[in-house]
């Protein structure tokens, strides 16, 4: 027994001090206590016997490990009342068919060890016998958690001195201690920021409102906020909280139509030119604006339903703009107070089934408005 202790210490030290062969994988140390059954060659004249022991395993690569193992048993001598103290220390190499992250890890193993039979041998009971044994076998490790695993192992062992063949089957519960020795991946360089020409915090590639004024609050699309949905951004809205659908002026305040002046102006075919005979009618609009500097006007152009709707829309816009231009140029009205809008055939005041009705629908209206 005294001879085994320094050998055991040397083998365990060799296992623990094995140099790291891979710096980019997980290293694991297993403590492998086990119980099993030992089958002895018939030459030994020993009964089969339960065995127990432990192993210290160092898994230095995902597929490779080295293990130092100590086992002990007390088999009876056949046809005798005596027994033998059996001890063995060995070093094994293991090859796993998977890595530590897989639940089921089958493996192959081979190794060499030193065995001692104390108390009797197959020839002279009561004497001491030592021998070198090599082994070959395999097993499977079942990972229950990162810390705990079950291991079943089966080995054939060959005693070199007496040419004996033994076998050992064992089952154990292992504790695992792992560390990741992989060098961290170098951090990817920070991507170049997307251009943001108006500096509103929304890059150009998704900015739906380029050219936002400096300092304006914008939404995720880069457009200035319009909390009440009246078409006037918060920054310019003097009347926040305008009711839904209300018509507002350029400052976001609701417009109230004080007066509507309807002009029945006849335009040449496919033309927006206005004859001078309508100047007196346009003068009515100018006088209404000059009475109150706070009022504005919308020049609304309308058509009948003759022709395509898209064409009528364009025609009504041109005619509204013609009246607006005449009002501004002839009577010196500020252009910011005049807004031409074409409504096409969308807002008839009479039927389009008769000549008389269509004539009423071909009109220009001046809506005199003031902010409420």
Residue 105 predicted with pLDDT over 60: yes
Same domain for 308 and 163: no
Do the domain assignments include residue 57? yes
Same domain for 141 and 276: no
Residue 29: the pLDDT is 95
CB 95 within 8 A of CB 60: no
Same domain for 18 and 136: yes
Same domain for 143 and 271: no
Do the domain assignments include residue 288? yes
Same domain for 241 and 159: no
Residue 358 predicted with pLDDT over 80: yes
366/10: higher pLDDT: 366
Same domain for 15 and 134: yes
Residue 268: the pLDDT is 64
Domain encompassing residue 23: 4-180
| CA nearest neighbour of 69 among 181, 151, 180, 162 | 151
Same domain for 269 and 130: no
Residue 269: the pLDDT is 60
**Overall domain count for the chain:** 2
CATH number of the CATH domain containing 313:
3.30.1330.60
CATH number of the CATH domain containing 9:
2.40.160.20
Residue 7 predicted with pLDDT over 60: no
Same domain for 131 and 32: yes
* pLDDT tens per residue across span 28-76: 999 999 999 999 998 888 889 999 999 999 999 999 999 999 999 999 8
Q: Which of 153, 180, 207 is the last residue of a domain?
A: 180
> In angstroms, what is the C-alpha Rg of the chain?
50
Average pLDDT over residues 210-232: 84
CB 147 within 8 A of CB 29: no
Do the domain assignments include residue 22? yes
Per-residue buried b or exposed e for 107-131, using 16+ beta carbons within 10 Å of the residue's own CB: bebebebbbbbbbbbbeeeeeebeb
* CA separation for the pair 111, 157 (Å, rounded): 9
DSSP-derived pairing of the beta strands 255-263 and 164-180? unpaired
* CA separation for the pair 29, 57 (Å, rounded): 6
Residue 120: the pLDDT is 55
270 phi/psi in degrees, rounded to 5: 55, 40
What pTM value is reported for the model?
0.45
In terms of average pLDDT, the best of 5-9, 36-40, 212-216, 261-265 is 36-40
9/64: higher pLDDT: 64
Q: Which of 133, 163, 180 is the last residue of a domain?
A: 180
| CA nearest neighbour of 70 among 114, 101, 135 | 114
DSSP-derived pairing of the beta strands 255-263 and 128-143? unpaired
Which residues, other chains included, contact 363 with Cβ-Cβ below 8 Å and sequence gap of 6+? 262, 263, 264, 265, 302, 349
Same domain for 244 and 167: no
The pLDDT-based confidence of 274 (bands split at 50, 70, 90) is: confident
Residue 54: the pLDDT is 95
């Amino acid at each position: 027994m005294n001879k085994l202790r320094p050998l055991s210490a040397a083998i365990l030290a060799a296992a623990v001090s094995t140099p790291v062969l891979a710096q980019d994988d997980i290293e694991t140390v297993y403590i492998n206590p086990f119980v099993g059954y030992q089958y002895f060659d018939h030459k030994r004249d020993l009964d089969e016997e339960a065995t127990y022991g432990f192993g210290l395993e160092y898994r230095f690569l995902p597929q490779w490990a080295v293990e130092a193992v100590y086992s002990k048993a007390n088999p009876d001598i056949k046809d005798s009342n005596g027994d033998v103290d059996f001890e063995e220390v060995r070093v094994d190499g293991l090859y796993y068919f998977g890595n530590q992250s897989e639940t089921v890890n089958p493996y192959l193993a081979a190794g060499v060890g030193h065995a001692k039979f104390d108390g009797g041998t197959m020839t002279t009971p009561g004497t001491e016998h030592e021998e070198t044994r090599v082994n070959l076998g395999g097993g499977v490790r079942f990972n229950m958690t990162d810390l705990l695993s079950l291991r079943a192992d089966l080995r054939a062992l060959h005693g070199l001195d007496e040419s004996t063949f033994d076998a050992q089957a064992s089952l154990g519960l292992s504790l695992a201690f792992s560390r990741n020795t992989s060098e961290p991946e170098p951090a990817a360089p920070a991507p170049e920021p997307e251009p943001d020409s108006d500096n509103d915090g929304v890059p150009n590639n998704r900015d739906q409102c380029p050219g936002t004024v400096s300092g304006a609050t914008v939404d995720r699309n880069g457009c200035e906020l319009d909390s009440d949905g009246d078409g006037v951004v918060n920054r310019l809205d003097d009347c926040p909280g305008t009711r839904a659908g209300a018509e507002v002026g350029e400052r976001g305040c609701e417009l109230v139509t004080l007066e509507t002046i309807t002009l029945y102006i006849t335009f040449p075919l496919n033309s927006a030119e206005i004859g001078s005979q309508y100047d007196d009618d346009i003068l009515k609009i100018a006088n209404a604006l000059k009475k109150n500097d706070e009022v504005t006007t919308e020049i609304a152009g309308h058509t009948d339903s003759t022709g395509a709707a898209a064409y009528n829309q364009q025609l009504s816009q041109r005619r509204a703009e013609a009246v607006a231009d005449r009002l501004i140029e002839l009577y010196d009205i500020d252009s910011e107070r005049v807004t031409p809008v074409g409504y096409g055939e969308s807002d008839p005041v009479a039927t389009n089934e008769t000549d008389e009705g269509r004539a009423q629908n071909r009109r220009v209206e001046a809506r005199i408005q003031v902010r409420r």
